[in-house]
Structure 1
Amino acid sequence: MRVGFVGAGRMGTPMVERLLAAGHEVTALGRSAEKRTALAELGAATVSAAPDVAAGADVVIVCVFTDEQVRELCSDSPAGNGLLAAMRPGSVLVVHTTGSPQTAATLAEAGAARDVGVLDAPVSGGPHDIAAGTLTLYLGGTEDAVAKARPALASYGDPVVHVGPVGSGQKMKLINNALFAAQIGLVAEATKLAERLGIDESAALDALPHGSGASRAMGNIARAGSAAKFIAAVGEFIGKDVAVVRRTTAELGADLGRLDPLVDAGLGH
């Protein structure tokens, strides 16, 4: 499969590696000569302009940091990069960036006019999960677009979960991250309780992962050594996603309910 790739950074570079290892032809964007050299050493073809990754591509994958970057990248306005307009009919745009379901819907509408499928496909996991081929992907889009993109996404994603129409992937990821932040908050409060009861945080984090209250958040915090260290390490990423959760739920006339104070605790607030 011919794959175009934009966003070969901390998460994107191991995705490119897995795509190449699976036998896909990858053309990746490198905005600097240094980045293009590094991508070429992995085996990817390289380009310096975003629309050029779409030339002949069956699937174009976007893995940038913010929703605003996605809109700028895909827009064919004078201020945009015109990626979507450069894609050939019958191809599929996959957006891994966590953002607004409305952005996914807007891209899907623009894509439909060009016979280009669009999948919002936010991820859960980190570079180590990508390297192992076990990154979780939440897909929103049509069955046809999912079927076309799945061979590429399966190079680094397992499970690849189709949760509903366009926008559903983003909504599921936002729910997941709100829950994860709340679980971090729960563990942080539990370690405070342990200290009030005379148990050192390190002792609590050695013991609690083996009980019925264990969670992935607790395991991560235990490996970090303290709730404060883990929150400091992930706060920027979780905070970005939680801000989108709050904004999106407000736009849809909802809120986080009883998760809200726990989410704040999970962000160290």
Structure 2
Amino acid sequence: MPVCVGGCGDCDGGGVVALRVAFVGAGRMGTPVCGRFVSAGHAVTVFDVRPEREGAVRSLGAGWARSAVEAAAGAEVLVSVLPGPREAEAALEDAVFGVLAPGAVWIDMTSNAPAVGAVLRERAGAHGVDVLEAPLGGSPDDAGRGCVRLFVGGSCEVLKRCRPLLEAVTSADRISLVGGPGAGYITKLLVNLLWFGQAVATAEALLLGRRAGIDLAVLRDVLAGSAAGSDFIRRDLSALFAGDYLPSYGLDRIRDQLEVITGEARDLGSPHGVADAVLDVHRRALERFGPVDGELLAVALLEEWAGTLLRP
């Protein structure tokens, strides 16, 4: 993948080369990320298994391909933003890597499973394609504004080559190299485990506080300024108090991710009792509500069990 430091005539004037980017996955996160690449001056060709996404993609100024192989043909960078490991393994077949340009890089922004990532990394490596995993942290709105977090796993050298492209998606201080292959995926899953765990633990505490007669608004403010304070309490609790269960991600996907990280803990011989409890609540929520969108539906289940809503 070419890198420019300015003065070449092929760049945008700021030292960033306009690249041919193959983009696989135009969902809620992928679409705004794609738009960021187009706005940065890159030539982006998109494939998604849903043909109805073509209009939204073309409205961004990106091209549309009928297959991942067609999108990847001659591209210098392949970017994937897929719903999960199953979709990544299915979409990124061997032929996709085989048609990329010499010296190409694959950047996987999927919240992928490390085991699936290893399989795909081997496919890419067989064709001389370098790999950088950079799963996204944040919401679709964050992606559109260019303020997501990237949890990067891979080599420093590959990250250095890819930084100009990644900085179209977010600021330099939000790109974190956390380790070698697999480390980016694990870090993203750990972030999700802790966030969902905080949501469940906070909801239990608030329900208990309400039963004890404490005003929820007062309790929230006290907790936010205490040693128990967290970003969840300070930032996300207001949505819950307003009856918003954050329908930006599927409950079945949440269950899948929690299963992957608890499986990693078992395989590595690391304690995972709390993680198991968080997973159990989300499995029960999935049984109760089905595979619908709602990042806080486990809290809705706790509210049902308590017979009350968390509303000040």
TM-score tier after normalising by the smaller chain length: 0.7 to 0.9
Which residue number corresponds to residue 66 of structure 2? 48
Following TM superposition, by how much is the alpha carbon of 1:40 offset from its aligned partner in structure 2, in angstroms?
A: 1.5
Which of 149, 169, 180 aligns to 2:195? It is 180
Which residue number corresponds to residue 192 of structure 1? 207
Q: Does 1:240 align with 2:256?
A: yes
Following TM superposition, by how much is the alpha carbon of 1:51 offset from its aligned partner in structure 2, in angstroms?
A: 0.9
Following TM superposition, by how much is the alpha carbon of 1:45 offset from its aligned partner in structure 2, in angstroms?
A: 1.4
- Range 103-112 or range 226-235, more displaced: 226-235
TM-score by length of 2: 0.76
8 Å CA contact retained: 2:74, 2:99: no
8 Å CA contact retained: 2:262, 2:276: no
Pick 1 or 2: higher relative contact order, CA cutoff 8 A, min separation 6: 1
- Distance 1:39-1:20 versus aligned 2 partners, 3 A rule: same
**Percent pairwise identity:** 32
TM-score by length of 1: 0.87
- Range 11-20 or range 93-102, more displaced: 93-102
8 Å CA contact retained: 2:259, 2:279: no
Following TM superposition, by how much is the alpha carbon of 1:204 offset from its aligned partner in structure 2, in angstroms?
A: 3.2
8 Å CA contact retained: 1:246, 1:255: no
**Residue type of the alignment partner of 1:64:** L
Which of 35, 40, 44 aligns to 1:22? It is 40
- Distance 1:244-1:227 versus aligned 2 partners, 3 A rule: farther
Q: Distance in 1 between matches of 2:279 and 2:233?
A: 15
Which residue number corresponds to residue 100 of structure 1? 113
Question: Rg: which structure is higher?
Answer: 2
Which of 94, 119, 128 aligns to 1:115? It is 128
**Residue type of the alignment partner of 1:209:** A
Which residue number corresponds to residue 89 of structure 1? 102
**Residue type of the alignment partner of 1:199:** I
1:144-155 pair list within 5 angstroms: 144-155=157-168
Matched pairs, number: 264
Q: Distance in 2 between matches of 1:61 and 1:145?
A: 14
| C-alpha RMSD of matched pairs (Å) | 2.5
- Distance 1:56-1:46 versus aligned 2 partners, 3 A rule: same
- Residue by residue over 1:188-225, the C-alpha shift from the partner in whole angstroms, topping out at 9 and shown as x without a partner, is 12202321221243553455435443322223442213
Q: Distance in 1 between matches of 2:248 and 2:21?
A: 32
Which of 217, 222, 229 aligns to 2:232? It is 217
Which of 262, 269, 279 aligns to 1:253? It is 269
Q: Distance in 2 between matches of 1:233 and 1:218?
A: 19
Following TM superposition, by how much is the alpha carbon of 1:262 offset from its aligned partner in structure 2, in angstroms?
A: 5.1
Q: Distance in 1 between matches of 2:32 and 2:127?
A: 30
8 Å CA contact retained: 1:206, 1:222: no
5+ residue gaps, structure 1, are: 77-81
Which residue number corresponds to residue 75 of structure 2? 57
Q: Does 1:2 align with 2:20?
A: yes
- Distance 1:2-1:166 versus aligned 2 partners, 3 A rule: same
**Residue type of the alignment partner of 1:98:** S
Q: Distance in 2 between matches of 1:228 and 1:125?
A: 21
- Residue by residue over 1:118-142, the C-alpha shift from the partner in whole angstroms, topping out at 9 and shown as x without a partner, is 1222111111111221100111112
Determine helix, strand or coil for the equivalent of 1:163.
strand
**Residue type of the alignment partner of 2:261:** V
Which of 129, 138, 145 aligns to 1:125? It is 138
**Residue type of the alignment partner of 2:60:** L
